[in-house]
């Protein structure tokens, strides 16, 4: 039995995963497959810890951001060491995380990925930069493999291996091709270049801001559904007339904070809801 | 006549004597010393201002050894020493850019051409008008841009003084010009190819030094496996996306009596899966420290790790303290348990076993304190390890560490720039 490797992927690629291969037997690993074919059971990521939130007494949610987006970290009662570090550390902070993929899959085509930490550690900028380069280097290999596979009439594991790609890379690419209809390789190439530019002193001195990768197209369609859901929850959770609390909404809606914030903002702009007190939302 | 007077004379000539030299000199000095404008720019401006035609100025022609960074208008007569092309896409249209080395009697310089009036080949002598210079990785480079005009000169009209730079294999890059490499031929194969109807011998293989390895091609010069060579005047080109060292008949190759330890490229953990390896080099990040790391106790008879004073084989014993680390190294392709022995653990922690025992004592006898020290030191750290690797069905890969070092991760900016260059930014 070989150990599952800790994949180095950027947050944007990780978060755009929609394909989950669930273990069907005990001891069998589950995987998240990214559109570029990283078939991930374990992740190693380094970024900036930007937020730590106590969800319940036992669960901590944290965000570790790289230049492309943020990894959601979910530490529960089985990760006491990671939880203890996350509870005490101040943000922002350079942080490394090693952990297993976790999937929240409310509906078929809807999926949110997060990391359940095995280890977290406060690190420095030098290690972050090393990780960015290392991750970029590996992204390049997957871009190459995907490009080659897309050129083939019927891409197979053996054909990719024959071109010199490792079995794990080839296997991931073939898995991704089975699930994803359109794979926008160009988008990841831009992401790769942006990440590398961020490492150059001249870009850094200019305060070069890396553009964030846009979310997939489905977002527009689901946005309305989210708004409906949140609106319903606000009505339901507004028991004392002071409005529904953000925390309760977050828990019940089961959305990433970012998405919930967006939905709330959009609803406010549309004049559907207002915020009578900080962190309380009420229907108009 | 000094340099400054030459420029004054040049302007005087273009203006056809309409303005006297004194006025020109005063004007030029003002631009240069007070406004710090580059000479070529100042001359153009003065000529325009005084009603002349700046294109008649001759002073833009330069020799390679005089070039400095960020010169706006440069004219040169040079010979193409190496040329490579790359295709790229801009606004949906496929385009080609060229790069390589050009030289004149004063030296050589890398060039980049975004556009070419004439299809250039190696060995062509050309006149270049209106190029510019820039700095790349601390070195001056000449750029043929949109306003640059290139025309062919008669063959062999330019002599090139080749500057040959000693280089380590890890540094080799197509923009370096002629290099001198000392390395060992790791592998070589021979074949015959027809070039313009003439049969030529090509030797292809791998050459290595203490910084890395690179493929090479040698034209008409015989090289043998195991040779340690000093190669002067070879150049680097890109072949199938990888740098390659090329020696041609003008390259001076000399056998030298030198011992060269070729730096190995680390193997991937994935490639070791199911087979293990003898004395292999691997690179990765420590992602876990396993239980049983730190201060442990062993049966003095059989060495078995004990959690009490009872050995299942030898009964009641006085356990002997020991230090070890069972770390998991991961290189992104796979993971492996790596075992550091007592001496290595002491070196990593900077304490010996007696000190470790004392620390445990001070912490109410809890040996976890040593494991935590190890975790602090190693988790998330990039390391390079060497040792024998065994692969077992049930546990996966295990290495008995022979040598270890922390990776130097300081200089990623340079690597990032090289990679961006490969990706055409």
Searching chain B, which residue's CA lies closest to the CA of residue A45? B380
**Interface membership of A59 toward B (CB under 8 Å):** no
CA torsion A91-A95-A98-A100 (nearest 10°) is 30
Residue B214, pLDDT > 80, answer: yes
Across the interface, whether the CB atoms of A134 and B393 are under 8 A apart is answered: no
**B329 sits in which H/E element:** strand B320-330
Q: In whole angstroms, what is the distance from residue A274 CA to residue B5 CA?
A: 78
Q: Is any Cβ of chain B less than 8 angstroms from the Cβ of A187?
A: no
Q: Mean pLDDT, to the nearest integer, of B265-286?
A: 88
Positive or negative torsion for Cα A247, A250, A256, A260? negative
Q: Select from A1, A5, A197 the Cβ nearest to the Cβ of B333.
A: A5
Distance from CA of A108 to the nearest CA of B (A): 30
B334/A197 touch (CB, cutoff 8 Å), yes or no: no
The pLDDT assigned to A67 comes to: 87
The candidate with the shortest Cα–Cα distance to B108, out of B153, B156, B160, is B160
Stretch B90-109: mean pLDDT? 84
Q: Which residues from chain B sit within 8 angstroms of residue A167, using beta carbons?
A: 270
Percent of chain B with pLDDT over 90: 31
A225 CB-near residues (< 8 Å, 6+ apart): none
Yes or no, beta carbons of B412 and A199 under 8 Å apart: yes
> Are the beta carbons of B287 and A118 separated by less than 8 Å?
yes
CA distances from A207 to A47, A200, A210 (A): 17, 11, 9
Residue A23 contacts residue A17 (beta carbons within 8 Å): no
**CB < 8 Å to A119, chain B:** 287-288, 379-380
pTM: 0.61
**B chain contacts of residue A199, beta-carbon cutoff 8 Å:** 412-413, 416
Query: Distance between the two ends of chain B, CA-based, in angstroms?
Result: 46
Return the pLDDT at A217.
44
Residue A210 confidence (pLDDT): 40
SS3 assignment, position B152: strand
Q: Cα–Cα distance between B237 and B240 in angstroms, integer?
A: 10
Q: Is B420's CB within 8 Å of A197's CB?
A: yes
Chain B residues whose C-beta sits inside 8 Å of any chain A C-beta: 268-271, 273-274, 285, 287-288, 328, 330-336, 379-382, 393-397, 407, 409-410, 412-413, 415-417, 419-420, 423, 425
Cβ atoms B322, B298 nearer than 8 A: yes
pLDDT (average), residues B107-111: 86
- Name the average pLDDT for chain B: 87
DSSP letters for chain A? -PPPPEE---HHHHHT--EEE---STTPPPEEE-TT--EESEEEEEEEEEEEEE-SSS-EEEEEE-SS-EEEEEE-TT-HHHHHHHHHPPSSEEEEEEEEEEEEEEETTEEEEEEEEEEEEE--HHHHHHHHHHHHHHHHHHHHHHHHHHHSSS--HHHHHHTT--HHHHHHHHHHHHH-S---HHHHHHHHHHHHHTTSHHHHHTTPPPPPPPPPTHHHHHHHHHHHHHHHHHHHH--SSS-EEHHHHHHHHT--HHHHHHHHHHHHHTTSEE-SSTTEEEE-
Spatial distance between the Cα atoms of A251 and A232, rounded to a whole number of angstroms: 14
B242 pLDDT more than 70:
no
Q: Which residue has better confidence, A59 or B343?
A: B343
Residue A218 C-alpha, separation from nearest chain B C-alpha, in angstroms: 27
Give the per-residue pLDDT at B239. Answer: 67
Q: Do B397 and A2 touch (CB under 8 A)?
A: yes
3-class DSSP assignment, residue B4: helix
Q: Is the pLDDT of residue B332 over 70?
A: yes
Interchain proximity B332–A134, CB inside 8 Å: yes
* Contact with chain B for residue A199, Cβ under 8 A: yes
Coil, helix or strand at residue B327? strand
What is the rounded average pLDDT of the residues B365-376? 93
Answer whether residue B208 shows pLDDT above 50.
yes
Report the pLDDT value the prediction gives residue B339, as an integer from 0 to 100: 97
pLDDT digits (tens, 9 = 90+) for B116-136: 777 888 889 999 988 999 887
| Spans of chain A, pLDDT less than 50 | 207-218
Q: Which two tokens mark A263?
A: 């939905």
CB contact under 8 A, B420 and A119: no
Q: Is the pLDDT of residue B243 over 60?
A: yes
| Chain A interface mutation, best of B284, B412, B419, B422, highest count of A Cβ atoms under 10 Å | B412
Report yes or no: A208 and A67 within 8 Å, Cβ to Cβ: no
User: What would the two tokens of residue B415 be?
Assistant: 């690597």
| A 202-241 residues inside an 8 A Cβ radius of B | none
Whether the predicted pLDDT of B293 surpasses 90? yes
Instruction: Output the pLDDT for position A216.
Output: 43
Task: Please report, for residues A56, A235, B7, B55, B160, the alpha-carbon distance to residue B49 in angstroms, rounded to integers and kept in the order given.
Answer: 77, 77, 16, 13, 38
Residues 6+ apart with CB under 8 A from A74: A59, A60, A61, A102, A114, A115, A116
| B333·A121 Cβ contact <8 A | no
Q: Is A189 on the interface with B (CB under 8 A)?
A: yes
**Cα angle value A30/A34/A37 (rounded, 5°):** 95
How confident is residue B82, by pLDDT bands cut at 50, 70 and 90?
confident
Whether A193 and B394 lie within 8 Å, measured CB to CB: no
User: Mapping DSSP to helix (H, G, I), strand (E, B) and coil, where does residue B117 land?
Assistant: coil
CB pairs under 8 A between A and B: 109
Report pLDDT for B249: 73
pLDDT at A227: 85
Q: B384 pLDDT exceeds 90?
A: yes
pLDDT at B59: 60
Instruction: Tell me phi and psi for residue B216, to 5 degrees.
Output: -135, 160
| pLDDT attached to residue A214 | 44
- Write out the H or E segment, with its range, that includes residue B82: strand B74-90
Tokens of A228: 């409906």
Which residue of A lies nearest to B334 if distances are taken between CA atoms? A5
Nearest in space to B159 (alpha carbons), one of B125, B127, B118: B125
Nearest CA in chain A to B378: A121
Contact across the interface for B268 and A166, Cβ inside 8 Å = yes
| Distance in Å, alpha carbon of B383 to nearest chain A alpha carbon | 12
Name the residue among B8, B17, B14 with its Cα closest to residue B57.
Answer: B14
Residue B285: its chain A contacts at CB < 8 A? 6, 44
Q: Which residue has the higher pLDDT, B253 or A219?
A: B253
Residue B318: predicted pLDDT = 92
Rounded to whole angstroms, the Cα distance separating A172 from A2 reads 16
Residue B180 pLDDT greater than 80, yes or no: yes
């Amino acid at each position: 039995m070989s150990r599952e490797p800790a994949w180095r992927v950027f947050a944007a690629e990780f978060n755009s995963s929609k394909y989950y291969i669930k273990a069907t037997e005990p001891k069998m690993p589950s995987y998240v497959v990214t559109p570029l074919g990283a078939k991930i059971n374990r992740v190693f990521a380094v970024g900036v810890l930007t937020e730590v939130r106590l969800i319940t007494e036992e669960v901590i949610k944290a965000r570790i951001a790289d230049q492309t987006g943020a990894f959601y970290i979910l530490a529960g009662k089985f990760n006491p060491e990671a939880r203890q570090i996350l509870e005490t550390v101040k943000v922002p902070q350079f942080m490394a995380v090693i952990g297993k993929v976790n999937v929240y899959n409310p509906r078929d085509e809807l999926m949110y990925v997060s990391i359940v930490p095995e280890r977290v550690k406060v690190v420095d900028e030098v290690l972050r930069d090393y990780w960015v380069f290392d991750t970029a280097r590996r992204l390049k290999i997957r871009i190459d493999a995907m490009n080659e596979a897309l050129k083939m009439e019927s891409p197979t594991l053996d054909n990719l291996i024959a071109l010199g790609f490792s079995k794990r890379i080839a296997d991931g690419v073939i898995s991704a091709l089975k699930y994803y209809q359109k794979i926008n390789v160009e988008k990841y190439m831009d992401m790769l270049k942006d990440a590398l530019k961020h490492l150059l002193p001249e870009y850094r001195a200019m305060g070069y801001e890396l553009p964030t990768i846009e979310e997939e197209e489905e977002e527009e369609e689901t946005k309305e559904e989210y708004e409906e859901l949140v609106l319903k929850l606000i009505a339901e959770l507004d028991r004392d007339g002071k409005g529904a609390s953000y925390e309760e909404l977050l828990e019940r809606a089961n959305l990433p904070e970012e998405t919930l914030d967006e939905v709330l903002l959009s609803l406010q702009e549309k004049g559907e809801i207002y915020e009578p007190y900080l962190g309380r939302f009420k229907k108009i | 006549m000094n340099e400054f007077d030459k420029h004054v004379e040049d302007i005087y000539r273009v203006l056809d004597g309409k303005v006297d030299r004194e006025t020109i000199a005063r004007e030029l000095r003002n631009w240069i010393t007070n406004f710090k404008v580059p000479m070529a720019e100042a001359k153009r401006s003065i000529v325009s201002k005084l009603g002349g035609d700046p294109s008649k100025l001759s002073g833009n022609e330069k020799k390679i050894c005089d070039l400095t960074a960020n010169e706006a208008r440069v004219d040169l007569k040079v010979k193409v020493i190496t040329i490579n092309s790359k295709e790229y896409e801009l606004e949906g249209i496929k385009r080609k850019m060229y790069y390589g080395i050009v030289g004149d009697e004063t030296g050589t310089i890398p060039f980049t051409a975004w556009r070419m009036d004439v299809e250039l080949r190696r060995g062509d002598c050309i006149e270049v008008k209106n190029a510019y210079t820039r700095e790349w990785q601390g070195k001056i480079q000449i750029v043929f841009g949109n306003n640059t005009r290139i025309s062919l000169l008669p063959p062999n009209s330019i002599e090139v003084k080749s500057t040959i730079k000693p280089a380590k294999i890890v540094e080799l890059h197509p923009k370096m010009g002629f290099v001198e490499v000392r390395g060992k031929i790791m592998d070589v194969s021979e074949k015959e190819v027809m070039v313009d109807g003439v049969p030529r011998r090509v030797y292809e293989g791998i050459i290595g030094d203490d910084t890395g390895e690179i493929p090479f091609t040698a034209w008409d010069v015989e090289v043998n496996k195991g040779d340690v060579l000093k190669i002067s005047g070879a150049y680097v080109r890109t072949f199938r996306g990888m740098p390659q060292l090329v020696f041609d008949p003008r390259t001076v190759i000399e056998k030298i009596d030198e011992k060269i330890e070729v730096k190995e490229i680390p193997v991937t953990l994935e490639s070791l899966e199911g087979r293990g390896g003898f004395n292999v080099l691997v690179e990765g990040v420590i992602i876990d420290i396993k239980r049983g790391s730190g201060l442990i106790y062993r049966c003095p008879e059989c060495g078995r790790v004990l959690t009490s004073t009872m050995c299942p084989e030898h009964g009641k014993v006085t356990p002997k303290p020991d230090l070890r680390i069972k770390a998991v190294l991961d290189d992104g392709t796979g993971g492996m348990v790596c075992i550091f022995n007592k001496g290595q653990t002491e070196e990593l922690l900077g304490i010996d076993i007696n000190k470790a025992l004392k620390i445990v004592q001070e912490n109410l006898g809890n040996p976890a304190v040593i494991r935590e020290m190890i975790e602090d030191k190693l988790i998330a750290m990039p390391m390079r390890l060497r040792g024998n690797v065994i692969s077992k069905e049930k546990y996966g890969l295990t290495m008995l560490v022979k040598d270890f070092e922390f990776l130097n991760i300081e200089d990623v900016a340079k690597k990032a720039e090289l990679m961006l260059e490969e990706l055409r930014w």
